[in-house]
Structure 1
Amino acid sequence: MPEYDFETYPTGEDAMAEYLQERKAEGKPMTREEGETYIAWNTAKAQEMGERIARMTPEEERGKGGLDGLDEAMSAQFDLEEARFKVQALVEAAEDAERIAQGRRPVKRERDIIAPEGFSGMGVTPRGW
């Protein structure tokens, strides 16, 4: 498996989207393999941050210089997750393109399901359950 320096990749949904667009414009879009490797790295990094947050002492939670350490750590973890979602959408689009090329239908994902305005879906179960 190739080695990538994911520490230098942007975090946050907008920054990652911009980075992916720049790479595509340069003619070097993120490959499916690189995206899957990034997702695995990002998941491990987010888990590591979650464990670090769980071990924080009250002093660390309050942070230094009047900044809230817990809020900063949680924000960094959420930024990582948002970036992962952007890359995951790219990987899923590549998977759908492969399925279409094989003459198969793309996978229907939860985000593809559109409900009528004002319909929350509360209390509704999918068919076959």
Structure 2
Amino acid sequence: MVEYDFETYPTDPDAMSEYLREREACGNPMTREGAEAHIAWNTAKVQEVGERSSRMTPEEERGSGKHNLSGLDEALSTEFDLEDARFEVEAVMEAAEDAERAAQGKHPLKRERDIVTPEGFSGMGVTPRGW
């Protein structure tokens, strides 16, 4: 498997989305193998950040610095940004999977985000039209 340096990839979700669009515009979209490797790296990184934040001392949680952000808030923010960036990559991988299925003459897979319901309705047991 190809070795990727994901430490240089953006971890902010908006930056990751822009990065993926730029790659696609240049004719070098993220491959399925690359997306799977990024998701695995990202999951490990989120787990590492979570473990680090769970081991913080009360002094570290309060943090110090100019912005008066607590260390715990910073760790959680990093964790959430990593997860959101992973969702961006997962969307690219799902689009590639749907394109493969379309090429085979199959319908795309139904995903939870494809279900659209009126506001205030839970959506339990609802499937989108045309499925």
Taking structure 1 as the reference length, the TM-score comes to: 0.90
Partner of 1:114: 116
1:126 Cα offset (Å): 6.4
Moved more, 29-38 or 58-67: 58-67
Deviations 1:20-55 (A, max 9, x none): 011111111111110111001000100111111111
Partner of 1:93: 95
Provide the rounded CA distance (Å) in 1 between the counterparts of 2:13 and 2:79.
12
Partner of 1:105: 107
Q: Count matched residues.
A: 125
Q: Equivalent residues in 2 for 1:3-14 (5 A)?
A: 3-14=3-14
Moved more, 111-120 or 85-94: 111-120
Higher RCO, 1 vs 2 (CA within 8 Å, ≥6 residues apart): 1
Q: In structure 2, list runs of 5 or more residues that go unmatched.
A: none
Partner of 1:78: 80
Q: CA RMSD in A?
A: 1.5
Aligned AA for 2:71? G
Q: Please state whether the residue corresponding to 1:98 is helix, strand or coil.
A: helix
Partner of 1:22: 22
Q: Please state whether the residue corresponding to 2:97 is helix, strand or coil.
A: helix
Partner of 1:57: 57
